[in-house]
Structure 1
Amino acid sequence: MKKLGVSNILMLLLLSIIILFAEYLFLTGDKLHGIFLGLWAPTLLGIMIYLKLISNERR
């Protein structure tokens, strides 16, 4: 837990909530909004990885 850091844990929690809400929307019949919202999670994960790589490169 200490290696991840508070900000990463909060971001992963937010991503989990986004995924669950997207699945809820998709399964209740609002398929387009579910797909649109579901695409946010991998985008945010990509941004997290990119920022992590930039911060590691500067060290």
Structure 2
Amino acid sequence: MNYFKNLGLGNLLMLVLCALIILVAEYLFLTGDTEHGLFVGLWAPTLLGVMIYLKLVENGSK
């Protein structure tokens, strides 16, 4: 539980959002809408990249 406290509420919400995006992309892909599934599936790595960038900027200013 201490890990989630250190992670922070904002980062935890972003990770939950990424998991939800992956589930929606899988649903779209498996129901036959492959192009939309791939498009939506690329949002999760983009959000994770933004999270990493913001964490690097925050740590660089200290």
Tell me if TM exceeds 0.5.
yes
Q: Which has the higher contact order (CA 8 A, sep 6+)?
A: 2
Which of the two has greater helix per residue? 2
Q: Which amino acid aligns with 1:29?
A: G
Alignment of 1:1-59 (within 5 A): 1-59=4-62
**Runs (5+) with no aligned partner, structure 2:** none
Size of the aligned set, in residue pairs, is 59
The alignment yields a C-alpha RMSD, in angstroms, of 0.4
Structure 1, unaligned runs of 5 or more = none
* Poorly superposed stretches of 4+, deviation over 2 Å: none
Identity of aligned residues (%): 66
Alpha-carbon distance between aligned partners in 1 of 2:21 and 2:43, rounded to the nearest angstrom? 8
